[in-house]
């Protein structure tokens, strides 16, 4: 019993620290993606994860250069259980940060952030 409990603790720790081989839902693709420079403001932010995610318990935010939240939310689609989207308002040229905090269907929270730039026209 003691051994099993110990093993469980190790597994939980590894999950939080983000070992790549684990099954929970890390971000695998994003549009716009990290460090992207886009000529036109994206109408939607789309994040794809390595496993299923729960839209009702997940949030994507877009922050402007000053750190102010421009918009937040998250939509899923029943036929795309690994994807979340966020409709973006008209973004002016500038740097933005996409932050996400999602509930993976294995029960773990996965969070992260990255930056993209809308170039001046």
Residue 95 near residue 117 (C-beta atoms within 8 A): yes
- Of 111 and 119, the one with the shorter C-beta distance to Cu ion is 111
24 binds Cu ion (CB under 5 A): yes
Query: Which listed range, 3-11, 22-30, 33-41, 77-85, lies at the site for Cu ion (CB under 5 A)?
Result: 22-30
- Which residue in 65, 106, 111, 119 binds Cu ion (CB under 5 A)? 106
Contact yes or no for 104/51 (Cβ under 8 A) = yes
Residue among 27, 32, 28, 11 nearest 116 (CA): 32
| Dihedral sign, Cα of residue 91, residue 92, residue 98, residue 101 | negative
Number of residues counted as binding Cu ion (CB under 5 A):
4
Work out whether 102 is an interface residue with Cu ion (CB under 5 A): no
Tokens standing for 41? 């403001």
Q: Is 118 in the site for Cu ion (CB under 5 A)?
A: no
Contacting positions for Cu ion (CB under 5 A): 15, 24, 106, 108
């Amino acid at each position: 019993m003691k051994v099993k409990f110990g093993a469980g603790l190790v597994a939980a720790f590894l999950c939080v620290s983000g070992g790549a081989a684990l099954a929970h839902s890390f971000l695998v693709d994003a549009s716009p993606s990290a460090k992207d420079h886009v000529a036109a403001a994206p109408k939607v932010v789309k994040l794809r994860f390595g496993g299923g995610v729960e839209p009702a318990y997940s949030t994507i935010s877009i922050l402007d250069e000053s750190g102010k939240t421009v918009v937040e939310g998250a939509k899923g689609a029943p036929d795309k259980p690994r994807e979340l989207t966020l409709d973006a308002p008209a973004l002016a040229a500038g740097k933005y940060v996409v932050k996400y905090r999602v509930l993976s269907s294995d029960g773990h929270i996965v969070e992260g952030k990255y930056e993209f730039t809308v170039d001046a026209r």
